[in-house]
Amino acid sequence: MSCCVLTAPLNIKQSERLAEKLKSLADPVRLRLLSIVATAHTGEVCACDFLGKLEKSQPTISHHPSQLVKAGILSRKQRGKWAWYRLADGLCDVREALGEGCC
């Protein structure tokens, strides 16, 4: 990538791409969801677990992980009738874009 906010002014395209990832992270429900997945011992979490841990309706619970998948923060795999989520590279990309390692 090598386009981080600390090395050079972002052009419009770069800023829009990064903003989209950040927007997917900038929600309390999705952050809690992300931290649940990121700290799972097995590295992955079944969608059914979210229902018990986040006090939201099922459509809402279904909506948020798909936003994170679309942004590349999580990845989704269907196993039988269960959906399993695990971390993707998107989070590292965001940290790098925000200047990880330059501070």
Query: Which CB atom, from 40 or from 76, has the smaller least distance to a copy of itself?
Result: 40
Q: Which residues are near DNA by CB under 7 A?
A: 23, 26-27, 29, 46-48, 51, 56-60, 62-67, 76, 78, 80-83
8 A C-beta contact, residue 85 and residue 47: yes
Q: Which residues pair with 85 in a beta bridge?
A: 45, 76
Q: What's the gap between Cα 72 and its chain centre?
A: 6
8 A C-beta contact, residue 61 and residue 50: yes
- Residue type (1 letter), 81: K
Instruction: Please report whether residue 48 would count as binding a copy of itself according to CB under 8 A.
Output: no
Instruction: Please report whether residue 95 would count as binding a copy of itself according to CB under 8 A.
Output: yes
**Residue 58's binding partner, choosing from DNA, a copy of itself, none, with beta-carbon cut-off 5 to 8 A by kind?**
DNA
8 A C-beta contact, residue 87 and residue 38: yes
Give the CA diameter of the chain. 47
Mark the segment that binds a copy of itself (CB under 8 A) among 20-28, 61-69, 75-83.
20-28
Residues forming contacts to a copy of itself in the complex (CB under 8 A) are: 5-12, 15-16, 18-19, 22-23, 25-29, 31-32, 34-36, 38-39, 53, 91-92, 94-95, 98-100, 103
